[in-house]
Amino acid sequence: MTASRHDPAGVDAYIAGFAEPTRSRLIELRAVFRDVMPGAEEFISYRIPTFRLDDGTRLHFAGYDNHLGVYPVHELPAELDARVAPFRSGAATLRVPVDAPLDRELLANVILAQVGVQRTRRHHSA
């Protein structure tokens, strides 16, 4: 059976396609997303794992040989922004090294902040 675009099995297959240690870090990162965005739809979009809430909020993550990516990461509170500054890559990307322990608390705070940013942007544009 082929996984549909909206089938979490697609995310399982995505993660399974990586060697260690990237695979383990992706599993950890996925767990952070699930904890912070309970009830979110989980699927593949833009060829990477995506979490979407009922209100349309979308966040993505991806794996690479040397790092994990979290997208989009726009505005953050100043203190949080200072903590993630070493992981910034471009205007809206975080690059987390796969060879270091995952800072689950930091990533959870980033995800929560981005959910708030996207909701605020939609509210103001409506």
pLDDT at position 99 over 80: yes
pLDDT digits (tens, 9 = 90+) for 34-57: 999 999 999 999 999 999 999 889
pLDDT digits (tens, 9 = 90+) for 54-88: 988 999 999 999 999 999 999 899 999 999 999 99
Listed by start position, the domains of the chain span 8-125
Phi, psi of 102 (to 5 degrees): -75, 125
Angstrom CA distances, 33 to 8, 51, 78, stand at: 13, 8, 22
Q: State CA 109 to chain mean position distance.
A: 12
Which numeric CATH code is attached to 8-125?
Answer: 3.90.1150.200
pLDDT digits (tens, 9 = 90+) for 15-39: 999 999 999 999 999 999 999 999 9
Phi, psi of 44 (to 5 degrees): -100, 130
Q: What is the pTM of this model?
A: 0.87
pLDDT band with cut points at 50, 70 and 90 for residue 5:
very low
What's residue 28's pLDDT?
Answer: 97
pLDDT at position 2 over 70: no
Q: State CA 60 to chain mean position distance.
A: 4
Q: Is 27 exposed, middle or buried (0-12, 13-18, 19+ CB in 10 A)?
A: middle
